[in-house]
Amino acid sequence: MQNEQGQGISHAVGDSKVPEKVQQKVPQGLEEDLPNKVHDTGKGTGRQTHALDGGAASKVPLPIQKAVPEKLERALPDSIHNTGDHAKQ
């Protein structure tokens, strides 16, 4: 059960490197302050694109880019949705 500070449940909607018991004990605000790469609460999801050039480096329509989770954007090949993650080094 969740209390007034959001403690008692995890607010992660994606991957998390934070142990489940810790997620349940910390306030929701602390969970949301962590970077999504560490503890994905979805904060910011649906509001921005992660493609280069503000979304211009993608064949995916901008409204869709902004609506899908970051993890999905980054899973697409750069030839379709260029986030720079798959650039050859």
Q: Are residues 18 and 51 in the same domain?
A: no
What are the distances in angstroms from CA 31 to CA 45, 47, 60? 15, 19, 30
Residue 68 has what pLDDT? 83
| Per-residue pLDDT band at 29 (split at 50, 70, 90) | confident
**The domain containing residue 75 runs over which residues?**
44-89
Burial call 70-89: b when 16+ CB within 10 Å, e when fewer: bbbbeebebeebbbeeeeee
- Structural domains of the chain, count: 2
Q: Over 60: is that where the pLDDT of 46 sits?
A: no
Residue 89 has what pLDDT? 47
Q: Are residues 27 and 3 in the same domain?
A: yes
Q: Over 70: is that where the pLDDT of 20 sits?
A: yes
Residues paired with 16 in a beta bridge: 39
| Per-residue pLDDT band at 45 (split at 50, 70, 90) | low
Phi-psi region of 79 (alpha: psi -120 to 50; beta: other; left: phi over 0): alpha
